[in-house]
Amino acid sequence: MAVAHLGHAELRVTDLDRSRWFFTEVMGLYVTEENDERVYLRAWQDWDHHTLILTKSDHTGIEHVGWRVEKPEDLGTYEKQFKDLGVDYHWIEGGKEPGQGDGLRFMTPGGMPFELYWERELYAVNGKDGLASALPSHPQRYASRGIGPRRFDHVNFLADEPGAEQEWLTRELGIHHRYYAENSNGERLASWLSRTNLSHEVAIQRNKNQTGALLHHVAYFVDSPDQMARAATILADNGIQIEWGPGQHGTSGAIFLYCFEPSGNRVEVWTGGMLIFAPDWEPIGWGPETAELGYELWGSQMPETYLTYGTESHFTDAPQKSASSTSG
Ligand SMILES: [Fe+2]
């Protein structure tokens, strides 16, 4: 049993209006629905109701990351598995998160707030003016504003022990280990994993300050390098701080840039990146002699903040006592 694919992320934001402006007008995502507390967003070719939720909060960070499972009964099997493992979990009733059925939420050992779900609503244009496409392959018309990424791509966390976290994700959730970086002592500095053939859907980097898990970034995918140059100009034009890039990761071959949305969460725009098809893929190692190229091929310097800055990673709406510790 394994998860099927990464589905969505919920970010907590301290300035919902400004963050909504950034993700719609600058990033070019589309609102599926919203209220005073939350905004549900997706990229133009994201098929589901949402791939990103912005939730108004008194602090910035990540509330949960949703992974779809392969079939409905997997949720019950995972519940049993978490009981056996002593992993605390709680259920989110279907519909409480709009567009989603029952969610099984749990914290990974390293501190990533994950959720497993099966049922989800597909996005429907529902008469929104100008968004309906003539193409069945387009859930809505091609992006017409802002950076306009095609789809949600991945999430990245800082954690104290990326090696242990990777092993747990691979063993318990079946998420394949794709490539990693390690220092001269053989300590794991980062690991990148995916269940699909993307180079990674989740990455874990060593938290240099050893302060536990933090969200490093969420990433959206654009189609081409020229769209990366365009994205950088759009960000600068709108007064958004670019932290690093555009540059090229040697590890995945993807072209990247990182910026901060107005509430302080880091966001990546990227394109390219190798795809992986082999069922017996062996993780690629990047040691001290190649690590710099792994992070950046083109010569720009990684800013110190890239290794140290992240935003809070925990559930705010988890019950006091988890289901796993009350059900015996
Ligand atoms: Fe969810």
Q: Convert the pLDDT of each residue in 126-181 to its tens digit.
A: 777 789 999 999 999 998 899 999 999 999 999 999 999 999 999 999 999 999 99
CA 153 – ligand 1 centroid, Å: 16
Q: What does the alpha-carbon distance between residue 194 and residue 184 come to, in Å, rounded to a whole number? A: 26
Distance CA 105, CA 110 (A): 15
Say how many Å lie between the CA of residue 107 and the centre of ligand 1.
Answer: 14
Domain final residue, candidates 148, 167, 191: 148
Q: Are residues 23 and 119 in the same domain?
A: yes
184 alpha carbon – ligand 1 mean position (Å): 39
For residue 219, tell me if it sits in a domain: yes
The pLDDT of residue 325 is 41
For residues 94-114, average pLDDT: 97
Dihedral angle computed from the Cα positions of residues 51, 56, 59 and 65, in that order, rounded to the nearest 10 degrees: -20
Q: What is the pLDDT of residue 317?
A: 74
The b-or-e profile of 121-155 (16+ CB within 10 A means b, else e) is eebeeeeeeebeeeeeeebbeebeebbbbbebbbb
Q: How many domains does the chain have?
A: 2
**Average pLDDT of the chain to the nearest whole number:** 94
Backbone angles phi, psi at 266, to 5 degrees: -80, 140
Residues 177 and 128 in one domain: no
CA of 233 to the centre of ligand 1 (A): 32
Please indicate, yes or no, whether residues 24 and 55 belong to a single structural domain of this protein. Answer: yes
pLDDT digits (tens, 9 = 90+) for 307-320: 999 999 999 977 65
What is the bridge-based pairing of β-strands 176-182 and 103-107? unpaired
Does 235 score more than 50 pLDDT?
A: yes
143 and 155 in a common domain: no
Q: Are residues 199 and 213 in the same domain?
A: yes
What are the pLDDT digits (tens) for 15-62?
Answer: 999 999 999 999 999 999 999 999 999 999 999 999 999 999 999 999
| Domain match, 24 and 156 both | no
Do 186 and 88 belong together in one domain?
no
C-alpha 52 to ligand 1 mean position (Å): 9
121 in the same domain as 155 = no
Say how many CA atoms lie within 13 Å of 127 toward its Cβ: 0
- Does residue 327 sit within a domain? no
Determine the structural domain holding residue 173 and report its residue range.
Answer: 151-313
Nearest to 256 by CA among 154, 125, 328: 154
Does residue 326 belong to any structural domain of this protein?
no
- The mean pLDDT value for 219-245 works out to 98
216 Cα to the center of ligand 1, angstroms = 19
- Counting residues of the chain whose pLDDT is more than 90, the rounded percentage is 92
Please report whether residue 328 resides in a domain.
no
Q: Does one domain contain both 157 and 295?
A: yes
For every residue of 11-39, DSSP letters joined together read EEES-HHHHHHIIIIIS--EEEEE-SSEE
Q: Indicate if 187 and 132 belong to the same structural domain.
A: no
Residue 282 is given by DSSP the state: P
Mean pLDDT confidence for 255-278: 98
Q: Output the CA 8–ligand 1 centroid distance in Å.
A: 7
The model's pTM: 0.95
Q: What angle do CA 266, 252, 5 make, to 5 degrees?
A: 70
pLDDT at 326: 39
CATH number at residue 142: 3.10.180.10
User: In this structure, are 27 and 130 located in the same domain?
Assistant: yes
Q: Summarize pLDDT for 194-223 with one digit per residue, the tens.
A: 999 999 999 999 999 999 999 999 999 999
Query: How far away, in angstroms, is 6 Cα from ligand 1 center?
Result: 10
- Does residue 157 share a domain with residue 172? yes
Ligand 1 centroid–CA 51 distance in Å is: 9
**Both structure tokens of 41:** 């967003």
Measure the CA–CA gap between 79 and 323, rounded to whole angstroms: 10
Domain final residue, candidates 119, 148, 177:
148
Amino acid at position 119, single letter: E
Residue 325 domain flag: no
